[in-house]
Amino acid sequence: MYSHNCAHDLKRIKCFISVLAGMMLLTSPVYAAEDTPMIKVEGSAIEKLDSVTIQPSEQTYTPTDTADILKTVPGANANKNGSMTGIAQYRGMYGTRVNVQVDGLNVAPAGPNWMDPPLSHLAPVQLESINVIRGISPVSAGAESIGGTITTKKAHMPFAMGDNIESHGNISTGYDSNNSAYTVGGQLGASSKHDRFQVQGDFDKGQDMKAGNGLDIVPTQYKRSTFGADYGHQFSGGEFNLGYDREKVDNSGSPALPMDIIYVKGNTFSTGYKSNDDLVGIKWLTNIHYMDTDHLMNNYSLRKVPLMLGVVGTPAMARNSLSNAKDFAYNIQASMPMSFGTWTVGTDGWLVKHNADVFDPNNTAFLLNNYNDVTRNRYSLFSEWNANITDSFGIQLGVRYTRVNMNSGQVAANGFGGMLAAPIATLASNFNNSQLSQNDNLFDVTLQLSQRVNNQLTFKIGAARKQRAPSYQERYLWSPLESTAGLADKRTYVGDVNLSPETSYHVDAGFDWQSERVYFTPRVFYKRVKNYIQGTPLTSGTAYTFRKNQGNMLKGGGFCTANPTNPFCVPLQFSNTDAEFYGADAGLGVNITEHITIDGTISYVRGKRKDITDNLYRIAPLNSNINLSYYGDAWSVSAQSIFYGKQNQVSSTNSEKKTAGYSIFNLQGRYAINQHIELRAGINNILDRFYQDHLGGYNRVSTDVNGQASAIAKGVRLPGQGRNYFIQARGNF
């Protein structure tokens, strides 16, 4: 049998991969997920062969940022630029490469720097579940899923079971000591057998966060409020619903970005229909939404405004950026019996329009069209067959075609003087005279095979070809700026209208083993990406000239003239390169006794450039979390250990800095007072350890607007939260 001694080699994750690969060599290909038993792990994660589902209302600790919930899922993580700006990462890919959905549809951030990423539009208190598809996403899960799929589902009140009208409701509240943060929210509704109506809302507010040893991180304050209403009607043919949601975020800091949130405010209108089987066994599913979101950010309301050091006596360089996104999305699917299983066909679309302008509140002549009437319209068709060929052998085969049409309006830059005037005018003219209308045709193919060996062991292997068209930032960022969907690497970028789509070739293999007391769910994966879009240095041309002259003004003393290759002076241009990702992740657990369990996850991913010798930017290091839990009749307590390895494999192209490994420890508990009221309390980061999360950005702020100094030096990677005492309560009726 296969064996390997890894006791003293955990730092070298190749050992972990070789163990899993060796196990795979002993197995045969694998089965379909419908019959896989569900596995309950700490944090109310329900793990299947194909996905992990988490219910925030059942977690021992519910974070303010929905993206933070992902850290308990094998292979998943979150890039953080501020308190509520978590960008989903899965197996090294993030941003527009990960297909993040809210109630089955994609969501367009209004901010070009993703201060309002998709998961930020849904507060945890309003969330019924968040689901991460492990490995290859089926084509039915959505288009442009090259980096995986994460779906969220809003909480809805149930229909009445009998003939009487029923009322339902819940309220959640909580307090965190670290940043004096509190939250309150809930739902209230009434329902009959055929109709239901509810209203929901929440309010979250927090002050500046403290790192380990009480070190202040400014500005990391936040404030968010939401309100919504939902109506549903149930009849013999299925269920129909209408919804409205209003979101508002005010004065929230994002110290890893050049600006902070002054407001994000938006309205969402949604409708959907889900059928029961009709006479011929066809099931219909339809979701539609329309969103209109405004976003204002600036660099002087929450932080000390930067100075233009090269010009003595010049006023502070205050900047505002006002952006808007209008987003219409739809999804229509039909499923029907066919050849040992189910055939699903569907169409979906996502039509988005972006505008963003940068202006100076002290100089009305200054205006830069960051993005002007940029449209990105996506239309897609798919077909998928899921079948159990035998009682134990399954197959999933899917194909998808997607058309992406993109365009931009004409841009302009006014109010630039001196040595900046000529190059910015040339950049605008060159952009306006380029081929702004671009169309991409994308083809996805997935094949997944599964084999159940017995009631305890199931295997799976899959392969896929997937594509993603360039984002609007990658294509239409025409002047050197940092509006790059939250990359937060301190580099300025320009786009390229002629970018080609990314093409990924992906293989994934794993198994689930579950006995009465133990489970283990490892996966290994490899992904090769052709035309991977990555910033590459520009050391000549108009964009470089503009940035060099701008750098001389910002730094003073002819800094960029004297240091022409300094990363501050060299913009990056989004370009087609080649890349690869590989790694392994697993969920694991043991029921030691009837009351005591150990469970957790381990994850590793490696991302590399293939066209040159370099690593990819902002890749999560080796990490794991282990929970030791005791379950009583009406209470439970869990000791949690979180480990992150050092990350030495960093991107020299992005001037990325290495980070050290760290470990933090949490103690959390739950107590059910009765069937309606539950209390949760605990201490996160018990030792008040100072640590730097590799997926956190770099600090851009020395002092806030009130003169409060940040304990974190500018240019240093932002640390994680220090010791935090929390208490949370939830009641329902």
Q: Is 456 exposed, middle or buried (0-12, 13-18, 19+ CB in 10 A)?
A: middle
pLDDT at residue 39 in the model = 37
How many CA atoms, within 13 angstroms, populate the side-chain half-sphere of residue 51?
A: 18
Locate 201 and state its tokens: 């809302």
Task: List for the chain the helix, strand, coil content (%; round to 5).
Answer: 10, 50, 35
All structural domains of the chain? 14-732 (2.40.170.20)
DSSP state of 20: H
Query: pLDDT by residue (tens digit) across 445-499?
Result: 999 999 999 999 999 999 999 999 999 999 999 999 999 999 999 999 999 999 9
- With 0-12 / 13-18 / 19 or more C-beta atoms within 10 angstroms meaning exposed / middle / buried, residue 111 is buried
Task: Convert the pLDDT of each residue in 82-138 to its tens digit.
Answer: 999 999 999 999 999 999 999 999 999 999 999 999 999 989 989 999 999 999 999
pLDDT of residue 20: 34
The 45-47 sheet, strands edge to edge = 39-41, 45-47, 51-54, 127-133, 149-154, 99-102, 105-106
Residues of the chain above pLDDT 70, percent: 92
**Taking residues 324-346, what's their average pLDDT?**
94
- Find where tokens 């600790």 sit: 61
Task: Give the pLDDT confidence of 637-662 residue by residue, as tens digits.
Answer: 999 999 999 999 999 999 999 999 99
Say if residue 19's pLDDT is above 50: no
Q: How confident is the model at residue 276 (pLDDT cuts 50, 70, 90)?
A: confident
Report the chain's mean pLDDT, rounded to a whole number. 91
How much is the pLDDT for 306? 80
Which residues are registered as beta bridge partners of 626? 600, 641
pLDDT confidence bin for 595, thresholds 50/70/90:
very high
| pLDDT exceeds cutoff 70 at 161 | yes
pTM: 0.92
Residue 25: burial class (beta carbons within 10 Å; 0-12, 13-18, 19+) = exposed
Asked whether residue 313 carries a pLDDT value surpassing 60, the answer given is no
The tens digit of pLDDT for each residue in 517-564 reads 999 999 999 999 999 999 999 999 999 999 999 999 888 889 999 999
